[in-house]
Chain A
Amino acid sequence: MNINLTLIGQMITFVIFVWFTRKYVWAPIITALEGRKEKIADGLAAAEKGKHELELAENRAVEALKESKVKAQEFIAQAQKRADEIVEEAKGNARSEGERIVTAAQAQAEQEMSEAKEKLRKEVGLLAIAGTEQILMREVDASAHKDVLEKLGAQL
Chain B
Amino acid sequence: MKIIVNSIAHNVMESNIHTILIELNYGKARVATALNGEFVTQEMRINTLLNEGDRLEILAPMQGG
Bound pair: A and B?
Answer: no
